[in-house]
Structure 1
Amino acid sequence: MSNKIDFYKNLQPYLECKDYTVSGEVYQVQFNKEFEMLVTTPVPKNLGDYYKSENYISHTDAKDSLFDKVYQSVKNITLKRKLKLINSFNTTTKTILDVGAGTGDFLKVCKNNSWEVLGTEPNLDARNIAEQKGVLLQEDLLKLTTKTFDVITLWHVLEHVENLQDYIKSLKGLLKSNGRLIVAVPNFKSYDANYYKDIWAAFDVPRHLWHFSQTTIGKLFQTENMIVEKTLPMKFDSYYVSLLSEKYKHGKMKPASAFYRGFLSNKKANKTGEYSSLIYIIKEGK
């Protein structure tokens, strides 16, 4: 049994970030040297209130603005890529759990391609939208303790989890012995993160409690005897994050600047591997 880890111990100053989505409040983002990760402090007691915004697009199917339409178009492309990835595992029973399933689009695609699907989503409005698509979601992992899955996916979810170590332990318990855990998270060591610094949109304080590097993910899952089998890029994220970052910087969208920064980030990452967001394929260690 792994020892309880205090991720808030011996933190070093890194930068201050503003919540541009809901409150306008400023938070400290501090460095945890042991895990090479950044930690948002303090954590608001009413954290759920910080998700109550029309701008929090993953909880809606909004197509009102140009930004919404671009987001939804890119989402459709990435859904196909995600399906291709899980199909590559060649599992016989094809059971999948999507944690933080949002409005259910990924699970709908999986269901339409012969996967037995289950998902969790804490946001009630998002669960209701998913239900209209024929995808029933649970509120959290607690009701799933008797089930195990071939594949568990967390698409930009782990950075939101409050009890990080306990959550990873729960995920391992839900995974079949030969299963795969897919974790996609922003990478604070990317070029766009270093360029935009405190206005980098993927810091998204205080909703993002943790900010990961490749070293972080390796060490975190080692604590539960799990290993990173493969790391893959999410190349669209550099453009999306840069577009939001430009909006925070200038008060309006600047697509040309955002596209340039996103392109430059991916170009540099072709050599360094430090893409704006990364997908980690994780399995149980020997």
Structure 2
Amino acid sequence: MIERLSKCPLCKSGLFLNHTEITDHAVSRESFILCKCSNCQLLFTNPRPTQETIGPYYNFPEYYSHEDKAKNITQWIYQKVRNYNISKKVTSIEQLVSKGSLLDYGCGTGEFLNTAKQHGWKVAGVEPNEKARTLASEKLNKKIKPSIDELKKSARFDVITLYHVLEHIHDLRKTVKKIIKHLNSEGYIVIAVPNHQSWDGRKYGKFWAGWDVPRHLYHFSQESMQKFQEEFGLELQETKPMKFDSFYVSLLSEGYMDKNSGLLSKYTKALRAGLLSNRAAKTPGQFSSNIFVFQKK
């Protein structure tokens, strides 16, 4: 089943137009229309699979965030980079709060939470995917919740993180409001999202892996993230780049553009594209993926 939206999922404006059509290169080969909100500039898939029917679109070998073990060289590299990024993430949140309570929404298989726990953080996680949730629960020796509604109403956190998760949330406004209710006063919410306005996003166009339709329901820009903070009573404190993402997204994009290209050729082209994309970004918000650090007002 599909659902057709009559209002922008972010700002509720009814003023939006069809913007482009993107193919799901990873799984279904289906095409999906992206609409653009005239008010907040958000791009969003419309119509889209419902929350109940989108599950099969996640069932493909390259969806590495739900896997623990590397099955090929690309996944091995992904996991090595992920492990490096996890240590950087912990360092980053400790620059906000020296030690405290952490909720990772969309925690995947739990590596980030496990590392944060080892650093002395009190941790909790939410992960809708059953397979990833089971792996995370085993790692942390605790039950990871399937939804934000499963958390105790009294639970409060100093930092809440959503790393490449916001673009997957069906009920965007209601879910974000629920998440923010669990944030301590003056607490921080850290959000990482892909940037379709990046150099690699423009280079690969409709083959850009960051579109990832229909799994990515929304596509944020600096303008739409500005509207995000206004809608939810947040204040943007800092924007940081995720420099490794340009290489990974470029590698997938090269595969979508030319299915018959050899592995060495793909890696060489992706390495060059990733370097050029990072070099072209003049400010943190212009990278292939960006981290937005908000504080609760």
**TM-score in same-fold range (> 0.5):** yes
Q: Helix, strand or coil for the counterpart of 1:201?
A: coil
Match of 2:34 among 29, 33, 36: 29
1:270 Cα deviation (Å)? 3.1
Matching residue of 1:10 = 15
Work out the CA distance in 1 between the residues paired with 2:109 and 2:156: 23
Contact 1:148 1:176 in 2 (8 A): yes
Matching residue of 1:38 = 43
Query: Identical aligned pairs, as a percentage?
Result: 37
Contact 2:166 2:191 in 1 (8 A): yes
Does residue 1:48 correspond to 2:63, yes or no?
A: no
Deviating more after overlay: 170-179 vs 47-56: 47-56
Contact 2:15 2:39 in 1 (8 A): no
Match of 2:231 among 213, 223, 227: 223
Does residue 1:263 correspond to 2:275, yes or no?
A: yes
Work out the CA distance in 2 between the residues paired with 1:267 and 1:112: 35
Unaligned runs of 5+ in 1: none
Does residue 1:60 correspond to 2:72, yes or no?
A: no
Unaligned runs of 5+ in 2: 1-8
Work out the CA distance in 1 between the residues paired with 2:178 and 2:233: 13
Aligned length: 281
Match of 2:292 among 276, 280, 286: 280
1:219 Cα deviation (Å)? 0.7
Matching residue of 2:3 = none
Deviating more after overlay: 245-254 vs 128-137: 128-137
Match of 2:197 among 154, 178, 189: 189
Matching residue of 2:79 = 72
Work out the CA distance in 2 between the residues paired with 1:15 and 1:33: 14
Work out the CA distance in 2 between the residues paired with 1:172 and 1:268: 34
1:66–1:83 distance in 2 versus 1, CA, 3 Å: same
The TM-score normalised by the length of structure 2 is: 0.90
Matching residue of 2:160 = 152
Q: Helix, strand or coil for the counterpart of 1:196?
A: helix
Q: Helix, strand or coil for the counterpart of 2:21?
A: strand
Work out the CA distance in 1 between the residues paired with 2:115 and 2:284: 33
Work out the CA distance in 2 between the residues paired with 1:35 and 1:157: 20
Deviating more after overlay: 47-56 vs 95-104: 47-56
Q: Helix, strand or coil for the counterpart of 2:140?
A: coil
Matching residue of 1:203 = 211
Contact 2:10 2:228 in 1 (8 A): no
Matching residue of 1:132 = 138
Work out the CA distance in 2 between the residues paired with 1:271 and 1:134: 37
CA offsets per residue over residues 213-261 of structure 1, 9 Å max, x none?
0111121121121111110000000000000000001114401111111
Question: Could you say what the CA RMSD is over the residues aligned between the two structures, in angstroms?
Answer: 1.6
Work out the CA distance in 2 between the residues paired with 1:207 and 1:174: 26
Work out the CA distance in 1 between the residues paired with 2:77 and 2:284: 28
Work out the CA distance in 1 between the residues paired with 2:140 and 2:68: 15
1:8 Cα deviation (Å)? 7.1
Match of 2:111 among 105, 110, 123: 105
The TM-score normalised by the length of structure 1 is: 0.94
